Amino acid sequence: MARILLNDVRKSYAGTQVIHGINMQIADGEFVVIVGPSGCGKSTLLRMVAGLEAITSGTVEIGDKVVNDLEPRQRDIAMVFQNYALYPHMSVRENMAYGLKIARMSKAEIDSRVAKAATMLELEPYLDRKPRALSGGQRQRVAMGRALVREPAALLLDEPLSNLDAKLRVQMRLQIKEMHLRTGQTTLYVTHDQVEAMTLADRLIVMNKGVAEQIATPLEVYQRPASEFVAGFIGSPAMNIFTVSAADGRVTLPGGAVLPLPVPRGGDLRLGLRPEHMRMAEPGEAAIPVVLRSVERLGADAFGYGMIEGSDVSFVLRLPGTSTLDRGDRVEAVPDPAHLHFFDPESGKRIEG
């Protein structure tokens, strides 16, 4: 068990900087998820913590020890790879015992640890099989087992569920969460899937183009996204974000409609509204006029996709599951004043209202 400290960590490849100074403290036992679109540097960051990529500048500390110049094996970490990286010529048992044998652990200790992990992951019937005789979900569990038996200071997971089908992914997600509660292992988890990120994390790092856009709890990221990127990335369907011009407690929408809103300042602003934070207008109330182009019915809810009337700005809003609205209908939506997000059009940063 240990805490992890990232101090202005940077990475460049041949002069091109890909990680632009990440600062973070991960507490002992905390579950932190690094989330972002592909190519944002999240895997690179994890691999730098693991020791598989050199750190260009800044320091990484694991358990109060700077590990920049240590080999992966000296860092007291375990890692689960996206493709599992199981040793194909070894049985499940040998795969899990590999690291323990290297650590010169006694035979009895190895056996008891492997047995314990196998019980927890329900792998006992497969201990003598080779990885190729296992299904995707079983391989994934072996990879988890191989990491857990070593009881490392920190557990690193690189998109461990992305090769599984949707149903298995949900199952494994719950299992990982449960396992974390049981072992209390400091965990760093990389994913591009916002559902995994929201459900697993104690805290999130939302990354974009090598920059940590926001480091906060999942709820905080959802309620107060620090930038336009975070606002658009977290939440499904994505937040509606468009440019409005603000003055005197009013905004002029694309298409010309005027809406009274508590604005933080005048001039051009980016306004963000989540589809779920909207209600239908009372007769005569100022609202956002939307012409629907299609309605997706999910049972409990329905989502109306359309354009703000008189503009080419697309707009999504949540409708009751029983709604009879359909393609071509015009609706008037009123945003919930408690859930308004304003961003600076230049920097993309959140403007506090």
Partner 1 sequence: MRRTVFPHKLLPWLLLAPQLAITLIFFYWPAAQAFRQSMLREDAFGLKTTFVGLANFRKVLSDPNYLNSMRVTVVFSVLVAFFAMAIALFLAVQAEKIVRGKGFYRTLMIWPYAVAPAIAGMLWLFMFNPSFGTLAWPLRQLGISWNPLLDSTQAMGLVVAAATWKQISYNFLFFVAGLQAIPRSLLEAAAIDGASRRHTFWTITFPLLAPTSFFLLVVNTVYALFDTFGIIHAVTGGGPGKATETLVYKVYNDGFVNLIMGDSAAQSVILMIIVIALTAFQFRFIERRVHYG
Q: For residues 9 and 22, is the Cβ–Cβ distance under 8 A?
A: yes
d(CA 281, CA 184): 48
| Residue nearer to partner 1 on the CB measure, 91 or 323 | 91
| Residue nearer to partner 1 on the CB measure, 102 or 286 | 102
**Secondary structure (DSSP) of 55-104:** -SEEEEEETTEE-TTS-GGGS-EEEE-TT----TTS-HHHHHHHHHHHTT
Least distance between partner 1 and beta carbon 132 (Å)? 8
| Residue nearer to partner 1 on the CB measure, 98 or 305 | 98
Strands lying side by side in the sheet with 278-280: 278-280, 330-335, 288-297, 301-308, 314-320
Q: Which residues bind partner 1 (CB under 8 A)?
A: 50-52, 71-73, 77-79, 81-83, 85-89, 98-99, 102-103, 146, 150
Least distance between partner 1 and beta carbon 48 (Å)? 13
| Residue nearer to partner 1 on the CB measure, 151 or 220 | 151
Q: For residues 270 and 241, is the Cβ–Cβ distance under 8 A?
A: yes
Least distance between partner 1 and beta carbon 122 (Å)? 22
| Residue nearer to partner 1 on the CB measure, 152 or 218 | 152
Q: Which of 246, 253, 216 is nearest to 344 (CA)?
A: 246
Least distance between partner 1 and beta carbon 52 (Å)? 5
Q: Which of 151, 128, 156, 139 is nearest to 49 (CA)?
A: 156
Least distance between partner 1 and beta carbon 49 (Å)? 11
Q: How many CB atoms lie within 10 A of CB 80?
A: 23
